Structure 1
Amino acid sequence: MRNQTVLISGASIAGPALAFWLNHYGFEVTVVERAAALRPGGQAIDFKGATHRTVLERMGIWDEIQAHRTGTTDTVFVDENGERVGFMSGDFTGGDVEILRGDLAEIMYKRTLGDCEYVFGDSISALTETTAGVHVEFENGAPRTFDLVFGADGIHSRVRRLTFGPEAEFVKHLGHYYCVAGASPWSAEQTGPRERATAYGFNAPGRLAISGGAKAQQLYMFAAPELSYDRNDVTAQRRLLAQQYAGLGWEVPRMLAEMVDFDDFFLDSVSQVTMREIGYTRGRVALVGDSAYGNTLGGFGTGLAVVGAYVIAGELALAAGDHAAAFARYDEIMRRYAKIAGNANAGKFLAPRTARGIKLRNWFLGSRMFALMSKFGDNAATDIDLRDYPALVEGR
């Protein structure tokens, strides 16, 4: 019996993680990525609890993640005069281990590059399921047919749109936008340990600006209805951000002036994918990661991506390639586990719309209830019984 061919759309985190497991179970894997190359840097992402660690150890990358981990960053919230009004521990935001998104993507990419085909600078334009598999048309490359197709292409997934329908039906705008600008302070090579750092955040009603100081990575979050803008026009996005923060005090004018020259700039909505009720698979197509169960800055996205990749590949191996049976089990398992991403609203928490809301948030950060919420999040991250899937294909 020939090895099944699979196409994965997206080479950030979920895509290479899925490529790793599918390759090890004997599938012939192709990954297509719209960007011209791996995207370096980016915001820090984290893992927490025994479930995440178990999957990463089974991938053989836990030690490498430890070697590339960022330092812990505490956030001190200040008023317009720079006086402290609240504190959020980096132990809450950073989980058990924190790593830059670009560093993790590179680790996974290198683990799969020798055995998997990567196609950069291209994307899927059409999908048609046939008796022979899934006929795939690309923006640039020649059409090809694959046995299975996986969408690991983020909240704005094209695979989801082509398979399930318009984005508006499955992505809920949560009332805020966020922007990460500038290189992380942990991006440069360091010879010593990455120590604890402090960032400073300033709130105005419906606005948040965080910076670690001059030339440090910046995080913005602002309340707004759904905005119409070109996601490929970074210059226009910079202007939009400057307009949203015009007239604010503290260090915001300095931050905006520096932001103009930063090469690293990413702006997007705070949104939630709502696929749990209908499931994450249809026919020979399945969604993994943020395309299936994303919730922007909700704290569980990366862990869900690597666990979801482990589960769907393992179920395919257990079912000897019977995708219908494997996809049904994947839907069942991940519907339950992905519920942890359904309640968080980072925008509402980090950028409250009123002065009273900001004061309540700052009080909550120092309360016992915040500690209980953190513990609940840690427990939710492990709320899944990982199956021991078949042994890896010999020699892979």
Structure 2
Amino acid sequence: MNEKAKCCICGGDTKLIRTIQYKDVVEIQDDLTLSIMICDSCGFIFNSTPYTDEQLSKKYTVFSNYEFDTTKKGSAESAKNIKDSLRQYDFIQRNISDVSSILEVGAASGYNLSLYKKCGMETFGVEPSPMNTQSAKHNYGVDMFCGLFDDFILQSPTKTYNLVFLSHVLEHISNPFHFIEQISAMNDKYIFIEVPCLDYKFVDEPFGLFFDEHINYFTLESLQNLMNYNNYGLKNAYIHLGIGFSCPAGLPAIVSIWEKGLNHDSVNLIRKSKDLLEDYIEVSDNQFQKVNGIINDIPQNAKLAIWGCGNHTSRILASTNLAQKNIVRFYDSDPKKKKKKIMGIEITAFEKDDIVNGIVDTILISTFVAQKQIADYLQELNIECRIITLY
């Protein structure tokens, strides 16, 4: 644990605010501790003990949550992805017009870039997933570099773009100051940034913001400091609440456009990063006590299956006595996790026969985002099994 890490934005001293424990992160690391730090000077909040670059690369290339079918044009896009891309497109169109070229880092399926390509803009994407890179070309005629951004800049050091598009990217970057410096070298006008924020949070999954893949936890204060230090001024911004879509690690989010060389007069904020972080931790602690109580009440002789093998499960395995219960199955619907293991137990898809044959008599739904969907499905099966929800 690095309790004396320097702030990568301003070089100021930082201090440890909280540690978050994870256990058995699938295929990545047995145990993980997030060390949540804050800079006393600029309000930047970050995890000083993230995954290694090699581990992150594996997560993004093998376990991408944003992969699309290369053969199903249009229908492969989720309604949410289409809605988000159109929302962002509208914001950009209303605020800037002098753009003829765009680079998107973390370009997913290429659908977003296709909107700008249709307008006659020069487009290019950087995307770690080979499947997404193929999908972009096949479905939309969008060209992409398949790999990480550091590899891309080694191959395209002199090319510049009017607009660089960063949607839910900056929270994953180990040194955002250096990253924006690199982006600036290939940008001559604007940077679009959408990033999860602490400025406005809901009471939902406790500590859900501290997703294991996220390194940085921005507020408008810290994002503004990052961009100002890199000679960008705020052109416009708003907070996207994402009502109707549950994503504690990703929403609400700051949506913003930054202009190179624009006057750096900062928006003077009443609520500072430190206050927002302390409030979030206090509410999460209260929520987590309820979760812990539910888990404590699970009988030791219950034949327990855990449905959900993501970061939520890794976090409660490390922070409660769940690992001491009689766990006999781990279920997950993600095919990428099939035959992987948690606590030595192989992850499988849900099997009704496990209950019929008496292998499982209790199912704990260990996900905030998909809890209702799973619970409704199990209720429809009308099976003799205790179903436990945490929220």
Structure-2-length-normalised TM-score: 0.23
- By relative contact order (CA 8 Å, sep 6+), the higher-ranking structure is 1
TM-score, with length taken from structure 1: 0.23
